[in-house]
Amino acid sequence: MTKEEIIAFLEGVDDLWLFALAQARRTETFGTDIYLRGIVEFSSVCRCQCNYCGLRAPNAEIHRYQLTEDEILDAVDELASLNLPTVVLQGGEDPSYDVATIGRIVRTVKARHHMAVTLSLGERGREAFSHWRDCGADRYLLKMETMDRSIYTTLRPGCDFDARLAGVRTLQALGYEAGSGMITGLPGMTIESLADDILAVTALDLDMISAGPFVPHPQTPFGAEAGGDPQLALRTMALLRLLNPKVNIPATSALETVRAEGRKQGIDAGANVLMFSVTPAAVRKNYAIYPGKNQEPQTAFQTVENARELIRSMGLVPSMSLGGSKVARG
Ligand code: SF4
């Protein structure tokens, strides 16, 4: 697909055709299966200053929490008891969870359960990535958010685009299923730069790619910026599916936040993964990357049941598998 064709689809030349084709591509690879991932967001502490994120270190207005090792393991145990064999352990870049602690948690999860473990802990360096892989971690999400260097610099002051990209490469070299992703509708982004992003993220040869709309957080420097158009995010997901037929693509929670039935529409646009928070209800709403995230008060059981029901209502099957990558690796 050429950049010009991508731009035309991003501009909405034929959504019906685009989404139908994306669904057909997904079916070719995954059949009727939709994978489920429970996310345990164990720390809302972060040392970074990303200009779009409510967890950024200078934001003194949010309540910070840190789960203990036992609380994290309890949340994973609950997920396992619901027959959901994949967990994402996610947090801000919080150095108080050192390399050994995370490694011990991963080892314990792998010893207790037949479960795939995804880590999403930011840039922690090759030594940490390697140790956690040795401990049994299967997947790692390290989102670029944009592949445009100049936009990246405005997003993440003090962070280096090349270092983050090198981090993705390191994860791949260590044998992780590597995931990354983008935010659509970021300040400074144009349709043309988004088309470049789609092509650039495709060239990374990833196992998972996410795309969700920018949701401005009022307690950040980007708080007064316009939010991203959810339709543009859906088109981006569909284009990613066409260009990357075998990758895992989640229907993001950001989509659901900005549009009713956003997750359903994400599946209709070619997504094959539903991810949802199973962070303990007492702290879940404080993982406030953007406003409106994690406001659901229900238990993990209800969350998982709701996800399964949504999938069934679409004539699809909530998969009980580990939901591994289908991307062929030589
Ligand atoms: S986007 Fe991630 S790294 Fe940046 S401030 Fe938020 S939690 Fe921290």
Question: What would the pLDDT profile of 49-61 be if each residue is shown by its tens digit?
Answer: 999 999 999 999 9
Domains and CATH numbers, the chain: 3-315 (3.20.20.70)
Q: For residue 330, name the pLDDT band (cuts at 50, 70, 90).
A: low
Find out whether the beta carbon of 164 lies less than 6 Å from any atom of ligand 1. Answer: no
- Round to whole Å and give the CA distance between 187 and 223: 11
pLDDT at 234: 97
Question: Tokens 């709403």, residue?
Answer: 285
Question: Which of the listed residues 44, 52, 55 should we mutate to test ligand 1's pocket, taking the one with most ligand atoms within 8 A of CB?
Answer: 55
pLDDT at 36: 95
pLDDT at 260: 86
- Which residues make Cβ contacts (< 8 Å) with residue 57, sequence separation at least 6? 46, 47, 48, 49
Mean pLDDT, residues 207-211: 96
Closest Cα to atom 3 of ligand 1: 48
Output the CA 242–ligand 1 centroid distance in Å.
29
- Round to whole Å and give the CA distance between 193 and 58: 29
Look at residue 135 and tell me whether its pLDDT is greater than 70.
yes
Look at residue 20 and tell me whether its pLDDT is greater than 70.
yes
Look at residue 294 and tell me whether its pLDDT is greater than 80.
no
Q: pLDDT, tens digit, for every residue of 118-134?
A: 999 999 999 999 999 99
Q: pLDDT, tens digit, for every residue of 191-204?
A: 999 999 999 999 99
CA 47 to chain centre: 20
Counting from 1 in the atom list of ligand 1, the atom nearest the Cα of 49 is: 5
Give the SS3 label for residue 72.
Answer: helix
Find out whether the beta carbon of 92 lies less than 6 Å from any atom of ligand 1. Answer: yes
Q: pLDDT, tens digit, for every residue of 259-283?
A: 889 999 999 999 999 998 899 888 8
Q: pLDDT, tens digit, for every residue of 140-176?
A: 999 999 999 999 999 999 899 999 999 999 999 999 9
- Which residues make Cβ contacts (< 8 Å) with residue 4, sequence separation at least 6? none
Find out whether the beta carbon of 53 lies less than 6 Å from any atom of ligand 1. Answer: yes
Which range (81-90, 172-181, 225-234, 284-293) has the least confidence?
284-293
Whole-number percent of the chain with pLDDT over 90: 85
Is-above-0.75 flag for pTM? yes
Mean pLDDT, residues 9-18: 97
Find out whether the beta carbon of 56 lies less than 6 Å from any atom of ligand 1. Answer: yes
Question: Which of the listed residues 48, 182, 219, 220 should we mutate to test ligand 1's pocket, taking the one with most ligand atoms within 8 A of CB?
Answer: 48
H/E stretch holding 240 reads helix 230-243
Q: What is the 3-state secondary structure (H, E, C) of 29-81?
A: HHCCEEEEEEEEEEECCCCCCCCCCCCCCCCCCCCCCECCHHHHHHHHHHHHH
What region, left, alpha or beta, does residue 175 occupy, with left being phi > 0 and alpha being psi -120 to 50 degrees? left
Summary mean pLDDT of the chain? 94
Output the CA 54–ligand 1 centroid distance in Å.
8
Find out whether the beta carbon of 50 lies less than 6 Å from any atom of ligand 1. Answer: yes
Find out whether the beta carbon of 288 lies less than 6 Å from any atom of ligand 1. Answer: no
Picking from 164, 159, 244, the residue whose alpha carbon sits closest to that of residue 199 is 244
| Length reported for the chain | 330
**Structure letter (DSSP) for residue 248:** B
For the stretch 205-216, what's the b/e string if a residue is b when 16 or more beta carbons lie within 10 angstroms of its beta carbon?
Answer: ebbbbbbbbbbb
